[in-house]
Amino acid sequence: MSLKFLKTGDAAEKALAEAEEKSKAAAANAGGSSDEFFYRYRFWMPQDAETMITFLDGDLNDNGVLTKITYEEHQKQIGGDWKNFFPCTADIEPCPLCEANVSKSFVAVFTVIDHTEWKDKNGKVHQNEKRLYVAKKQTLQRLQKLAIKRGGLRGCSFDVSRTGDQSAAVGSDFDFLKKWEDMAEFKAQYGVEDTDPLNYENVIQYKTAKELTALGLGALGASIGGEPADDVDVAADL
């Protein structure tokens, strides 16, 4: 599997700058504003919800910039469900989702412990689980400020809330609670066995252009090119 779509360090910062320029150009032109693809691990919040999360990575580099993995991803509505995400293949080969005018976003990924308690369909209670935290640009800018203030995000616990229907689904407001310097203490407090970040190369599943087209995700759901499928851009981070 090719992993060239994932970017770190200087390449990630360059990609962020390029994404910001693209957004400015798109806004000017517009006059304003699945496949299961790693969804099992992806953190999200319902509207007007509040929960607690703890970051397991997100250190600052020597220049005071948040270290991160970045890439561009498409979000596609399938059968009325927006929870379908696919890395853009454009850095490697022509992307059928780009050809179909399916919206895409620049994202950065982190790992968090989600302290939300929830019950599955079998009645089993879950809590303090590891999740993939996918941040779009506005959320990433907010995290950068928080990281500078706290000397990095690793070990930081926040009360996070999502306010409003256009707010980021990963949370729009962050209330700092504590920075855990001793992760052994954190493990004991919450019964967490593993505080290593997710293996992003395993969790973020790249599909080739051929695979995307075979899934009916190209233009007209059949081939690269043609008329764009009916699709609505979702502003919030999902």
pLDDT tens digits, residue range 47-78?
A: 999 999 999 999 999 999 999 999 999 998 88
pTM over 0.75: yes
Rg (CA), the chain: 18
How do residues 163-195 score in pLDDT, each as one tens digit?
A: 987 899 999 999 999 999 999 999 999 999 999
Q: For the domain made up of 9-221, give the CATH fold.
A: Replication Fork Single-Stranded DNA Binding Protein (3.90.198)
Q: Is 137 exposed, middle or buried (0-12, 13-18, 19+ CB in 10 A)?
A: middle
How do residues 131-171 score in pLDDT, each as one tens digit?
A: 999 999 999 999 999 999 999 999 999 999 999 878 999 99
**CA–CA distance, 216 with 229 (Å, rounded to integer):** 11
Q: DSSP letters of 175-186?
A: EEEEE-S-HHHH
The alpha carbon of 109 is separated from its chain's Cα centroid by a whole number of angstroms, namely: 5
- The C-alpha angle with vertex 89 and arms to 56 and 82, in degrees rounded to 5, equals 65
**Which position has the token pair 């929960």?**
51
**CA–CA distance, 6 with 204 (Å, rounded to integer):** 9
Contact indicator for 87, 71 with CB cutoff of 8 Å: yes
**Nearest residue to 69 (alpha-carbon basis) of 58, 60, 55, 83:** 58
